[in-house]
Amino acid sequence: MLIGLSRPSGGTISIDGIDGIKDIKKAQGIMGIVADESNLYDEMNGFDNLCFCASLYGMRKEEREKRANVLLEQFGLKNAGGRPFRAYSKGMKRKLTIAAGIIHNPKILFLDEPTTGIDVESARQIRSLILDMKQQGTTVFLTTHYIEEAERICDRIAFIVNGKIVKTGTLDELMENAGQEHIIRLTLNNGAKAIENELQRDFPGLRIEVKDENTCFIISPVKVALSPVLQYLDGRGISVFEAKEIRPTLEDVFVKVTGIEADKLQKEKEGGKK
């Protein structure tokens, strides 16, 4: 709907101040759109594909050729620029399709499952390129089934279930709102079991779980101020070598928010597309 391939039956769309319903063609001029399939032209080579896509945005010949060369270089496809698109590997096709999506330096970029079904190295490169674009000021809308990918590169995340947004926010907000507990793992020199009950008694707001003589967990519904605990342990001759926050994963939050079980989620991931 935002990119103009579906018509809304109600509501409004505003894209960088442009009416996305009445003036969709103007809005499309500032958008880059990368579909879930690599939909460039098999008959044309990589360079010509980029130049053609640039021409759709009114870029002149010299300008589009210069930009195409820059992008081929940036995406590591310089040597493949003269090869037909159909001869590209899946990862190369994906990279060229993303390059075509940003050929006109869009303010907003829509990426639909950019790393699905491609090799690890290409997926890493694409994630790195997305982060670069983000840093350069491009707003990126990323659709993905890989929750860890969203966790790693997105500023704001929305969970969509059956076409409806069920939760949205920054990573921290989602973690907070999901009511996940804060867990700190302490690595001690020794004596964890001996002070478990004492520690629990003196810090009633926290839940203490001791795993072994060297490891104990401090669990709290709110963020934990560590220094009183550390001082307390120090006073009893117990040294703390490491204190590490054990964060729940976004997948844990997703499962909690949506009620979708982890195995179903896994099947959905393996199934790939919507």
Partner 1 sequence: MIAWIAFWNILTKDVKNYYLKPPNISWGIIFPLSWMLMQFIRTPSTLDIDVRSLLPGLMAMSILFGTTSMLAVTITFERRGRSFDRLLLAPISMTTLVLAKISGAVLFGAIIAFSPVLFAAFMTDLSGINWVAAIAGVLLTAVTSTLLGLAIAVSSKEVFEAQTYSNFFRFPMLFLSGLFFPIDRLPVFLRPVSYCLPLTYGADMLNRAINGTGFMNAWIDSLILIGFAVLLFYYCQWNIKRKWILKKNIGTPDCKIGGLC
- Contact footprint for partner 1 (CB under 8 A): 1, 3-11, 25-26, 28-29, 31, 33, 35, 37, 39-44, 52-53, 55-60, 100, 141-145, 147, 150, 157-165, 254, 258, 260, 264-265, 268-269, 274
The 10 Å CB-count burial string (b at 16+, else e) for 235-248 is: eeebeeeeeeeeeb
* Minimum distance from residue 209 beta carbon to partner 1 (Å): 31
Residue 7 vs 201, nearer CB to partner 1: 7
Residue 104 vs 182, nearer CB to partner 1: 104
* Minimum distance from residue 239 beta carbon to partner 1 (Å): 42
Residue 63 vs 209, nearer CB to partner 1: 63
* Minimum distance from residue 35 beta carbon to partner 1 (Å): 6
* Minimum distance from residue 161 beta carbon to partner 1 (Å): 6
Q: Report how far residue 254's alpha carbon sits from residue 160's, in angstroms, rounded to the nearest whole number.
A: 10
3-state secondary structure of 161: strand
- Chain CA centroid to CA 77, Å: 24
Cβ atoms of residues 137 and 83 within 8 Å = no
Phi, psi of 74 (to 5 degrees): -60, -35
* Minimum distance from residue 99 beta carbon to partner 1 (Å): 13
How many angstroms separate the Cα of 151 from the Cα of each of 1, 51, 73, 144, 146? 25, 34, 28, 11, 9
Residue 66 vs 264, nearer CB to partner 1: 264
Residue 118 vs 149, nearer CB to partner 1: 149
